[in-house]
Amino acid sequence: MPRTLVTGGAGFLGSHLCEYLLRKDHEVVCMDNLITGSKDNIADIKSDKFQFVEHNVSEFINVKGALDYVLHFASPASPMDYLDFPIQTLKVGALGTHNALGLAKTKGAVFFLASSAEVYGDPLIHPQPEKYWGNVNPIGPRGVYDEAKRFAEAITMAYHRTHRLDTKISRIFNTYGPRMRINDGRAIPNFLRQALTGKDVTIYGEGSQTRSFCYISDLIEGIYRLLVSDQNAPVNLGSPDEMTVKEMADKILQATNSASRIAHTAAVEDDPKIRQPDITRAKKYLNWEPVVGLDKGLRATLKYFKEQLRT
């Protein structure tokens, strides 16, 4: 039975990943300092093969016993979060990744880095392939997250080349689904919360900026396929179905049958104008592409948000 550490395991992505790994007969150690994660996300996990450890991975990581895999998902991921916690975001991308890599090296484990489409910044190439180096403002307010992930990728590849560590890097594009926080700050949670509570649905700028939204179960499947693959270079994981933020807002108003109106607010500094993954590598090497349609995914997410707002 493989034994696996998931940092950030009580977060949105991490908690779904922990459940998936348990279904794949892994013993799972979930580590989180709960700065943006929540024990509620893992409360329903009832397994003697699951262990939760509250710890900040920007400090030295000590896990007793063998480990076969170290999956590093710890980091604030919403713009609202990394603007509130800029230093912590930089530290977990740098110190946290270094600590997790060191642990993987010591244990002889496969290392998996949850990177982000934000490494591309405000891209000048569309769609974005893995060979694109990005267009990032290193000193802008979003730079704390963008550069944290870029550094994390650089040190991961350094460990791969220098120490022959088996490493995987996923560049994750916009993902949604149950367990996103009501106040997450990203487009779908914001729009759902506002539409369900009768408030104006707020769009930054004109809403012409594009995003590609992948449902959580599709993403987790892609992560696992990359984990057990022989791919060491970065791989994009996300939906290639691109739409404007305004189109998503309209879709959520329709899905919720809400009387809320769309209201435009000031554009956000360095907000990417376009965002769409080229998933050619994922198709070729992982035999992976999303299968859950937006309507089905939104129904499941809407149900979850309704339940959360009732509690």
- The distance in angstroms from the start CA to the end CA of the chain is 38
Same domain, 101 and 202: no
Same domain, 12 and 124: yes
Measured distance CA(101)–CA(156) in Å, rounded: 7
- Domain of 8: which CATH number? 3.40.50.720
285 is catalytic: no
Global confidence as pTM? 0.97
Residue 254 corresponds to which amino acid?
Answer: Q
The answer, yes or no, to whether residue 189 has pLDDT greater than 80, is yes
Q: Both tokens of residue 124?
A: 């000048």
Query: Could you tell me the pLDDT band of residue 269, with boundaries at 50, 70 and 90?
Result: confident
Task: Please report whether residue 304 resides in a domain.
Answer: yes
Same domain, 95 and 172: yes
Same domain, 149 and 260: no
Q: Please, which residues bridge with residue 27 across strands?
A: 3
- Domain of 258: which CATH number? 3.90.25.10
pLDDT tens for 16-25 read 999 999 999 9
Provide the pLDDT for residue 157.
98
Same domain, 108 and 140: yes
Task: Please report whether residue 29 resides in a domain.
Answer: yes
Same domain, 232 and 247: no
Task: Give me the number of domains the chain comprises.
Answer: 2
Same domain, 9 and 117: yes
Task: Please report whether residue 18 resides in a domain.
Answer: yes
Measured distance CA(155)–CA(27) in Å, rounded: 27
Residue 300 is part of which domain span? 187-209+242-273+293-310
Measured distance CA(65)–CA(79) in Å, rounded: 36
pLDDT tens for 58-67 read 999 999 999 9
Catalytic-labelled residue, pool 69, 82, 120, 145: 145
Residue 113 corresponds to which amino acid?
Answer: L
